[in-house]
Amino acid sequence: MLRISTDLQVTVDSPRWQIAAAIVLTLSGLILAVVAHAPFWYSFFGPGAFLFLDSVNSRYGFSVLRHRMTALLFWAGLISVASLIEFVAARVLHVVYYPHLGLIG
């Protein structure tokens, strides 16, 4: 987390790599979205925003990345929820269709 004191000096509570990576990834995602109109802009913006918000939350004593087990459980939870949503949407509700190309197709 960046903190600005009264004498305008910036102190960093989170690791510098985390803040630098957050800024680079978030700005890359925004540039891809606005300038390049790329459909995969969220692949950069999402992790960058997560790293930035984690650095903000670490100031208040809550950080997902501070402990390896918490980060692993968080990651496993996200993968599980995404897989469940994909399964229900594609297989049960049939609201997502993935085209299959054959040899002639």
Domain boundaries, the chain: 2-63, 67-105
Q: Which helix (H) or strand (E) holds 2?
A: strand 2-4
Q: How far apart are CA 96 and CA 24, in angstroms?
A: 33
Backbone phi, then psi, for 13, in 5-degree steps? Answer: -90, -35
| Statement: the pTM of the whole predicted model exceeds 0.85 | no
Backbone phi, then psi, for 3, in 5-degree steps? Answer: -125, 130
Q: What is the pLDDT of residues 25-84, one digit of tens each?
A: 999 999 999 999 888 888 899 999 999 999 888 888 888 888 888 889 988 999 999 999
